[in-house]
Amino acid sequence: MTSPAHELRVGLIGYGLAGAVFHAPLIAAEPDLRLDAVVTSDPERQHQVRSDHPDAVVHTRIRSLLDRADELDLVVIASPNSTHFELASEALDAGLPVVVDKPFTTTAAQGRALIDKARRNELMMTVFQNRRWDNDMLTLETVLDSGALGTVHRFESRFERWVPTPKSTWRDQGPADEAGGVLYDLGSHLIDQALRLFGPVASVFAESDMHRPGVEVDDDTFLALAHTGGVRTHLWMSKLAAQHGPRFRVLGERAAYTKYGLDPQESALRAGHRPGDNGWGAESAELWGRLGAGEDTHPLPTESGRYEAFYAGVVRALRDGAAPPVDPADSVAGLEIIEAARRSVAAGSIERPAH
């Protein structure tokens, strides 16, 4: 590990959407991190890395990165979902702390095995559940802490897109064991947020469909979760939503909070903006949610999103021994719900997550 006076050196595996749009820019924006190396076998992406991050070494093979593990302080895995377990295991064996993009692994058992290995090797490991730092999520946490809603009995959350033509990638057309489809992709975010807000889940019911021609994995899924604390959660995830429902609707005994629209940080990153830019994470007033009951509601300013908090937390974990920004056990709990949802779809039944 480098001394606190120096930047921590990061190796990034994968330069697709996750690597290029999320991880590389957020790593570059963190003053205590340096994007030292990127692994991608795709010639076009290699060229993109050299253009975006000219100081980073480009590797075509993962082995060549891990062979220089003593020159790195952290590995970030932003490769296809089905590779997360193997690559995280190899990085831990090489003695490197690890950030794994979501979904953590394709099965809960794999996630538990990685947690055990990280613990045995005394290495930090965390999962990039970045939507804990969405603007609406941060705002809702503040609303819940204030008690303005009273006791909450129902939580509705949607992550909907309009992509009527499937893409020819593993996300839409790969086999089931590649963890494609909206349940693993969008559902990993929604489930993690629900668990963080309202705690463990006792039962799961799911509906899942493949509507678009040619897809091999789900593109429209619904989950009903019963939390042990009494809240009922409904989650919708879709790539075939021509009109979007509310991002959040939270019903309590005193009031409700309803919010439309997605956090702007992903769009900003795609457009080349970075944390620290003027207006980063903020949204206009017409997109604010509404808080209240019946006709007596008022707009509630949305907090600014802050994805940069994730890597700031990684730095604290590596430098100061703080808890990682996301406990990987939380992501395993999310995978247990995904597995229960798949059993529910297959059997048409209510299922209990395995623990």
Q: What is the pLDDT of residues 193-246, one digit of tens each?
A: 999 999 999 999 999 999 999 888 999 999 999 999 999 999 999 999 999 999
pLDDT tens, residue by residue, 54-107: 999 999 999 999 999 999 999 999 999 999 999 999 999 999 999 999 999 999
Cα 47 to chain centroid, rounded: 27
- Does the pLDDT of residue 118 top 80, yes or no? yes
| Residue 272 falls in which region: left (phi positive, over 0), alpha (psi -120 to 50) or beta | left
| Any domain includes 1 | no
Q: Which of 128, 162, 187 marks a domain boundary? A: 128
Angle at 51 between CA 49 and CA 57, to 5 degrees: 45
Same domain for 143 and 59, yes or no, is no
What are all long-range contacts of 277-285, with beta carbons under 8 Å and residues at least 24 apart? 280/304, 281/135, 281/305, 281/306, 281/307, 282/135, 283/135
Residue 16 sits in the same domain as residue 85: yes
Question: Is residue 246, in this structure, part of any structural domain at all?
Answer: yes
Classify each residue of 316-339 as buried b or exposed e, where b means 16 or more C-beta atoms within 10 Å of its C-beta: ebbeeeeebbbebebbbbbbbbbb
Question: Could you tell me if 149 and 40 lie in one domain?
Answer: no
280-286: list long-range contacts, CB under 8 Å, 24+ apart: 280/304, 281/135, 281/305, 281/306, 281/307, 282/135, 283/135
Q: Is the pLDDT of residue 1 over 60?
A: no
Residues 142 and 105 in one domain: no
pLDDT of residue 5: 53
Nearest of 171, 204, 207 to residue 186 by alpha carbon: 171
The helix or strand, by DSSP H or E, that contains position 236, with its residue range, turns out to be strand 232-238
242, 216, 236: which is closest to 224 by C-alpha? 236
Query: How confident is the prediction for the chain on average, in pLDDT?
Result: 95
Same domain, 76 and 167: no
Residues 137-147 pLDDT 10s: 999 999 999 99
Cβ burial, residue 88 (10 Å; 0-12/13-18/19+):
buried
- Range(s) of the domain holding residue 79: 8-128
Task: Give the CATH number for residue 56.
Answer: 3.40.50.720
Name the one residue in this structure whose structure tokens are 């947690």.
115
Q: Do 114 and 143 belong to one domain?
A: no
Asked whether residue 74 is assigned to any structural domain, the reply reads: yes
Query: Are residue 108 and residue 235 in the same domain, yes or no?
Result: no
Is residue 295 located within the same domain as residue 237?
Answer: yes
Asked if residues 67 and 39 have their Cβ atoms less than 8 Å apart, the reply is no
Whether 210 and 278 map to the same domain: the answer is yes
Distance CA 198, CA 200 (A): 7
Among the candidates 75, 108, 128, a domain finishes at 128
Q: Are residues 77 and 139 both part of a single domain?
A: no
Nearest residue to 291 (alpha-carbon basis) of 140, 135, 145: 140
Residue 227: CB atoms within 10 A of its CB come to 19
Res. 285 pLDDT band, cuts 50 70 90: very high
The pLDDT value recorded for residue 310 is 98
Among 1, 313, 284, residue whose Cα is nearest residue 132: 313
* Within a domain: 112: yes
- Number of structural domains (the chain) is 2
Residue 327 forms part of a structural domain: no
Report how far apart the first and last C-alpha atoms of the chain are (Å, whole number).
35
Q: Which of 103, 128, 153 is the last residue of a domain?
A: 128
- pTM metric for this prediction: 0.95
Find the mean pLDDT for residues 245-271.
Answer: 97
CA-based max dimension of the chain: 63
H-helix segments, the chain: 24-29, 43-52, 62-66, 84-93, 108-121, 135-146, 170-173, 182-198, 265-270, 308-320, 328-347
- Residues 142 and 267 grouped into a single domain: yes
Strands 152-160 and 74-77: unpaired
Q: Tell me if 78 is assigned to some domain.
A: yes
Tell me, yes or no, whether 323 lies in a domain. Answer: no
Residue 3: predicted pLDDT: 42
Average pLDDT over residues 273-282: 95
Confidence band for 177, pLDDT divided at 50, 70 and 90: confident
How far, CA to CA in Å, does 269 sit from each of 73, 101, 191, 254? 25, 17, 23, 37
Q: Are residues 120 and 176 in the same domain?
A: no
Report the distance separating Cα 338 and Cα 226, nearest Å: 14
